[in-house]
């Protein structure tokens, strides 16, 4: 599943670290808690020719545990963590779609969420965590309307990520990423299938197939104002030229742009420091 949706906001909502840590700097707290609020202009689904303004306000938790971490890199459960390699679990999410003209008369798209393993190569990174890293991800995707959960297949992606600290001053982090994604047939059908009973004069029947979904180019900047308050801005361009289902009448745009911004407030924190 590509990220232009709730995931764009969630990925950028994570608070920027106070600084890239070194042996002489104070350790970060084990946990921080507060509220995160963000909004943006986001396409209805990958390849949609309609976008809507969406917003989210959620409780926010940062936890820096030896195995489970929720931090500026997302939700991770680390099983292997060496100087060059990391193996963990990651999660993603996407907004629902309720008013898309091309899908008139078709089932609405529910919220999506995905969980799966990730293998990270971080041998290019600097001692402070900046620089390039490669992320190889597999995710099982589910949809929900908060009454039921349905399986939507899975995705495979390979992300090249670059991070730089201090670009706009202390407490800032700039992240750029390039991520091609492939999706199984159930997820492709969920986005692009048009059954014969749903066909119209302008929306012919279409049988979706598994394969290449598209490539996301992302850029985000996070800046911490104070120990409790930080802001973010993010943009993501998704290119679907060459996508497996580019012939679908529902894949109306070969590129999508998502933009978002928001604030994170974490007034509560532990007195215990996170272990390195």
pLDDT digits (tens, 9 = 90+) for 189-207: 999 999 999 999 999 999 9
**184 — phi, psi (to 5°)?**
-75, 165
Residue 240 belongs to some domain of the structure: yes
The pLDDT of residue 28 = 78
The pLDDT of residue 46 = 96
Domains: count for the chain? 1
Q: What is the largest CA-CA distance in the chain?
A: 68
d(CA 122, CA 248): 38
Residue 200 belongs to some domain of the structure: yes
d(CA 120, CA 154): 19
d(CA 103, CA 95): 16
Residue 1 belongs to some domain of the structure: no
The pLDDT of residue 156 = 98
| Residue listed under structure tokens 């706009």 | 168
- The answer to whether the CB of 199 falls within 8 A of the CB of 217 is no
Residue 196 belongs to some domain of the structure: yes
pLDDT digits (tens, 9 = 90+) for 247-271: 999 999 999 999 999 999 999 999 8
CATH number of the domain residue 243 falls in? 2.40.230
Enclosing domain of residue 236: 6-269
The pLDDT of residue 58 = 87
Name which of 164, 266, 156, 146 is nearest 211 in CA terms.
Answer: 156
pLDDT digits (tens, 9 = 90+) for 157-177: 999 999 999 999 888 999 999
pLDDT digits (tens, 9 = 90+) for 81-139: 788 999 888 888 899 998 999 999 999 999 999 999 999 999 999 987 899 999 999 99
Letter string b/e over residues 170-208, b meaning 16 or more CB atoms within 10 A of that residue's CB? ebbbbbebebbbbbbbbbbbbbbbbeeeeeeeebeebeb
The pLDDT of residue 14 = 45
The pLDDT of residue 1 = 53
d(CA 197, CA 191): 16
Residue 224 belongs to some domain of the structure: yes
Residue 274 belongs to some domain of the structure: no
- The answer to whether the CB of 114 falls within 8 A of the CB of 141 is yes
d(CA 116, CA 142): 12
**Tokens found for residue 182:** 């492939």
Confidence at 78, pLDDT banded by 50, 70, 90: low
| Best mean pLDDT range from 55-64, 66-75, 230-239 | 230-239
Question: Per-residue pLDDT for 5 more than 60?
Answer: no
Residue 159 belongs to some domain of the structure: yes
pLDDT digits (tens, 9 = 90+) for 6-25: 555 555 544 444 444 444 44
Could you tell me where the DSSP H helices lie in 179-232?
A: 185-192
**Tokens found for residue 26:** 């104070």
Question: Per-residue pLDDT for 68 more than 90?
Answer: no
Residue 276 belongs to some domain of the structure: no
Start-to-end Cα distance in the chain: 32
Confidence at 141, pLDDT banded by 50, 70, 90: very high
The pLDDT of residue 2 = 45
d(CA 151, CA 121): 29
The pLDDT of residue 274 = 76
- The answer to whether the CB of 120 falls within 8 A of the CB of 133 is yes
Name which of 1, 29, 60, 47 is nearest 230 in CA terms.
Answer: 60
């Amino acid at each position: 599943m590509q990220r232009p949706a709730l995931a764009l906001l969630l990925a950028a909502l994570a608070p920027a670290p106070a600084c890239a840590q070194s042996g002489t700097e104070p350790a970060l707290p084990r946990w921080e808690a507060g509220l995160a609020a963000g909004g943006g202009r986001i396409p209805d689904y990958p390849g949609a020719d309609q976008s809507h303004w969406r917003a989210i306000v959620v409780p926010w938790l940062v936890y820096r545990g030896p195995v489970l971490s929720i931090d500026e890199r997302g939700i991770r459960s680390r099983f292997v963590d060496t100087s060059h390699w990391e193996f963990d679990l990651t999660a993603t999410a996407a907004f629902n779609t309720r008013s898309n003209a091309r899908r008139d008369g078709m089932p609405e798209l529910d919220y999506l969420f995905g969980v799966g393993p990730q293998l990270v190569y971080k041998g290019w990174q600097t001692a402070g965590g900046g620089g390039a890293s490669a992320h190889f991800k597999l995710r099982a995707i589910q949809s929900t309307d908060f009454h039921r959960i349905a399986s939507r297949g899975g995705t495979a992606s390979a992300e090249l990520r670059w991070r730089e600290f201090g670009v706009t001053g202390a407490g800032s982090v700039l992240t750029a990423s390039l991520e091609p994604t492939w999706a199984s047939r159930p997820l492709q059908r969920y986005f692009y299938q048009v059954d014969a009973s749903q066909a119209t004069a302008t929306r012919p029947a279409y049988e979706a197939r598994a394969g290449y979904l598209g490539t996301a180019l992302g850029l985000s900047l996070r800046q911490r104002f104070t120990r409790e308050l930080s802001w973010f801005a993010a943009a993501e361009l998704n290119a679907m030229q060459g996508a497996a289902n580019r012939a679908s009448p529902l894949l109306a745009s070969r590129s999508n742009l998502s933009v978002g911004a928001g604030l994170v407030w974490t007034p509560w924190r532990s007195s215990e420091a996170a272990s390195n």
